[in-house]
């Protein structure tokens, strides 16, 4: 590893042992990065140096920033971080906001100043925020004032978080803006970081209720732009991007920010980006490339006639498997082949996906240039084409968990083993089969069943519960809870609503069980462990019965 540019070496000190790292591949010439690198200079400063500062950069319903204006905002926040807030290179900074220009500026400012970003989704509750605060030893947070309630609750529960600085209007808002307005804050020289210094810790949803912190280097942030974006999306500087994923999802970070800014394009940031808002934005802002989940494409299909979507050039899908029927219906309605892909927080972005001329309906595609993929059998050997097995991948990005023994499970013999079950055909195309773990993927959101179980078990009426994904035509899967109630409690519609409301108040609302079934007992092993695979069978059978009726 190169000499770190960090003063606070917490991130580097908590990387996994080198022997547990995946093997990295940098076969493409564009993936050869210098030893000293601050990635923000490649997205922002280079366009100013090239005289492109007047180009539109970030567009939102409330404001539009050129590259020059965005550059100045990033510099001002970086100065606030280092001069007023005492941030030193290597410090972790938690960010909390909807998708808007201030969130992106804060994100880039932390990295430019040598810090490590920990971005969180706006819907998370204090309980969910407390884990990354503790795990990453975060002392400073920048937050949209509209999210202050849960942020303050999290601070009260945290031994590490010392200060929160808000932006926005009212109450504690506008503190960040006031600090940014000081004289002499318009210029900032990027911190001299190493290309393998950590600049992002992205937390997974967590299959066991305890998320994993995935650590990414400066070079990783550019690698996803110079592999997937360059070779699969193939966008142009004239393109306008938008999409629905929160920037705390690395799918959203890449598709809505890193990819467009790498080529000098513009992006439209929407705080609310449901199917109706996406269609409206496509029409209003002449969007050419949206990033969203298959659920949204399905929902938009029936409404296309009410909007002018003629500006669209390419459409990208990830977050859950893209059904062949959705692909074909979208192509028939728009003439555009959706670019499907599979990525992982551990890998930062999409590593399997094909450009339009190589797309096959129903297949995720081939490995992205710069990546290799294979199917492993039950013994860990490379499976023959046509065999269902575990997906393994390696390339310029890879899994490095923050001080987590689960590293040894995800990385095996130098390969990232993703937890997905796939089949590779004779032509090298990969076909998704199922998840290998207990993650529920609903409308593009990753939801850990055990986390929802833990929330339900805090309700006084719940004796036992098990939570699994239930097949659903609209959302791919929904969260379904099987609940054993305490003696004397009625399992009626009122109790279902009470449990749903309880979960919404305990964890992010999108995680609540959309279906609740009361049972007298749960399937268990002889040692008393919950058999979720039996619950999944029950859920699949109930979904089939519902469709049949």
**DSSP SS3 for 538:** helix
pLDDT tens digits along 159-193: 999 999 999 975 567 899 999 999 999 999 999 99
353 has a pLDDT exceeding 90: yes
Short-list 231, 527, 248, CA closest to 396:
231
207 has a pLDDT exceeding 60: no
1 has a pLDDT exceeding 90: no
Please compute the mean of the pLDDT values over residues 74-80 and round it to a whole number.
Answer: 98
How far apart CA 374 and CA 390 sit, in angstroms, is: 8
449 has a pLDDT exceeding 70: yes
Output DSSP code: residue 55.
Answer: S
CB of 341 closer than 8 Å to CB of 316: yes
330 has a pLDDT exceeding 70: yes
pLDDT tens digits along 121-158: 998 999 999 999 999 999 999 999 999 999 999 999 99
547 has a pLDDT exceeding 80: no
How far apart CA 262 and CA 265 sit, in angstroms, is: 8
Residue 529 is predicted with a pLDDT of 67
Domains contained in the chain, CATH given:
38-192 (3.40.50.980), 439-548 (3.30.300.30)
33 has a pLDDT exceeding 90: yes
Which backbone phi and psi does 129 adopt, to 5 degrees? -75, -25
Which band of pLDDT confidence, cut at 50, 70 and 90, is reported for residue 518? very high
Torsion over CA: 108, 114, 115, 119 (sign): positive
Share of the chain above pLDDT 70, in %: 96
Rg value, the chain, Cα = 23
Beta bridge partners of 392: 374, 417
Which band of pLDDT confidence, cut at 50, 70 and 90, is reported for residue 319? confident
Residue 543 is predicted with a pLDDT of 85
396 has a pLDDT exceeding 80: yes
- Cβ-based burial of 258 (10 A; exposed 0-12, middle 13-18, buried ≥19): buried
pLDDT tens digits along 521-534: 999 865 566 788 89
> Counting every residue, how long is the chain?
549
Please compute the mean of the pLDDT values over residues 69-93 and round it to a whole number.
Answer: 98
> What are the start-end ranges of the E strands in 341-495?
342-343, 350-352, 372-376, 388-394, 411-412, 415-424, 430-435, 439-442, 445-448, 462-472, 476-485
Q: To the nearest whole number, what is the mean pLDDT of the chain?
A: 93
- Which of 101-105, 393-397, 421-425, 529-533 bottoms out in mean pLDDT, i.e. has the lowest? 529-533
Helices (H), 158-217: 175-180
Short-list 455, 429, 477, CA closest to 128:
455
Say what the pTM is. Answer: 0.86
**How many CB atoms neighbour CB 403 within 10 A?**
15
How far apart CA 439 and CA 455 sit, in angstroms, is: 16
Which backbone phi and psi does 448 adopt, to 5 degrees? -85, 120
463 has a pLDDT exceeding 60: yes
Please compute the mean of the pLDDT values over residues 273-284 and round it to a whole number.
Answer: 96
Please compute the mean of the pLDDT values over residues 11-18 and round it to a whole number.
Answer: 97
Helix (H) or strand (E) run with residue 260 in it: helix 259-262
Torsion over CA: 384, 390, 391, 394 (sign): negative
Which backbone phi and psi does 137 adopt, to 5 degrees? 50, 60
Please compute the mean of the pLDDT values over residues 4-26 and round it to a whole number.
Answer: 97
How far apart CA 177 and CA 333 sit, in angstroms, is: 45
How far apart CA 502 and CA 300 sit, in angstroms, is: 31
Please compute the mean of the pLDDT values over residues 215-235 and round it to a whole number.
Answer: 98
Residue 208 is predicted with a pLDDT of 43
Residue 546 is predicted with a pLDDT of 67
**Structure tokens of 194?**
């190493």
Short-list 12, 18, 22, CA closest to 396:
22
């Amino acid at each position: 590893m190169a000499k770190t540019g960090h003063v606070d070496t917490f991130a580097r000190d908590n990387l996994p042992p080198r022997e547990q790292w995946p093997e990295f591949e940098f076969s493409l010439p564009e993936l050869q990065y210098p030893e000293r690198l601050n990635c923000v200079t490649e997205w922002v400063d280079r366009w100013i140096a090239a005289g492109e500062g007047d180009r539109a950069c970030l567009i939102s319903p409330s404001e539009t920033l050129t590259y020059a204006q965005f550059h100045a905002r990033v510099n001002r926040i970086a100065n606030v971080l280092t001069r007023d807030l005492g941030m030193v290179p290597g410090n972790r900074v938690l960010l909390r906001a909807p998708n808007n220009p201030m969130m992106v500026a804060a994100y880039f400012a932390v990295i430019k100043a040598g810090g490590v970003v920990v971005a969180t989704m706006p819907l998370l509750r204090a309980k969910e925020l407390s884990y990354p605060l503790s795990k990453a030893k975060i002392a400073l947070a920048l937050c949209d004032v509209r999210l202050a309630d849960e942020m303050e609750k999290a601070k009260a529960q945290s031994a590490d978080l010392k200060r929160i600085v808000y932006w926005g209007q009212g109450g504690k808002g506008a503190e960040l803006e006031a600090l940014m307005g000081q004289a002499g804050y318009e210029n900032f020289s990027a911190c001299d970081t190493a290309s393998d210094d950590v600049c992002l810790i992205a937390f997974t949803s967590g299959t066991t209720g305890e998320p994993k912190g995935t650590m990414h280097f400066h070079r990783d942030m550019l690698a996803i732009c110079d592999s997937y974006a360059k070779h699969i999306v193939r966008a142009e500087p004239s393109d306008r991007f938008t999409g629905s994923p929160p920037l705390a999802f690395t799918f959203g970070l890449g598709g809505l920010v890193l990819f467009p800014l790498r080529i000098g394009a513009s992006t439209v940031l929407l705080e609310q980006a449901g199917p109706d808002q996406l269609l409206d934005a496509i029409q209003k802002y002449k969007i050419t490339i949206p990033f969203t989940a298959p659920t949204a494409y399905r929902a938009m299909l029936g409404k296309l006639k009410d909007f002018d979507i003629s500006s669209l050039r390419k459409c990208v899908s990830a977050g859950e498997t893209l059904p062949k029927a959705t692909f074909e219906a979208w192509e028939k309605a728009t003439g555009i082949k959706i670019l499907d892909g599979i990525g992982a927080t551990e890998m930062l972005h999409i590593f399997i996906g094909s450009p339009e001329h190589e797309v096959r309906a129903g297949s995720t595609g081939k490995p992205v240039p710069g990546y290799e993929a294979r199917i492993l059998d039950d013994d860990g050997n490379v499976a023959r084409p046509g065999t269902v097995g575990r997906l393994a991948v390696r390339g310029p990005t890879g899994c490095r968990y923050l001080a987590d023994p689960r590293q040894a499970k995800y990385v095996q013999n130098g390969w990232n083993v993703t937890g997905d079950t796939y089949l590779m055909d004779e032509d090298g195309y990969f076909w998704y089969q199922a998840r290998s773990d207990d993650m529920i993927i609903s409308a593009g959101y990753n939801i850990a069943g055990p986390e929802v179980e833990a929330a339900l078990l805090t309700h006084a009426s719940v004796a036992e519960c098990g939570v699994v994904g239930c097949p659903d035509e609209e959302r791919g899967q929904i969260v379904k809870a099987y609940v054993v109630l305490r003696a004397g409690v009625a399992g009626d519609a009122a109790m279902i609503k009470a449990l749903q409301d309880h979960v919404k108040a305990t964890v992010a609302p999108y995680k609540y069980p959309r279906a609740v079934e009361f049972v007298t007992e749960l399937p268990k092993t002889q040692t008393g462990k919950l058999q979720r695979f039996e619950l999944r069978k029950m859920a699949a059978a109930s979904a089939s019965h519902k469709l049949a009726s």
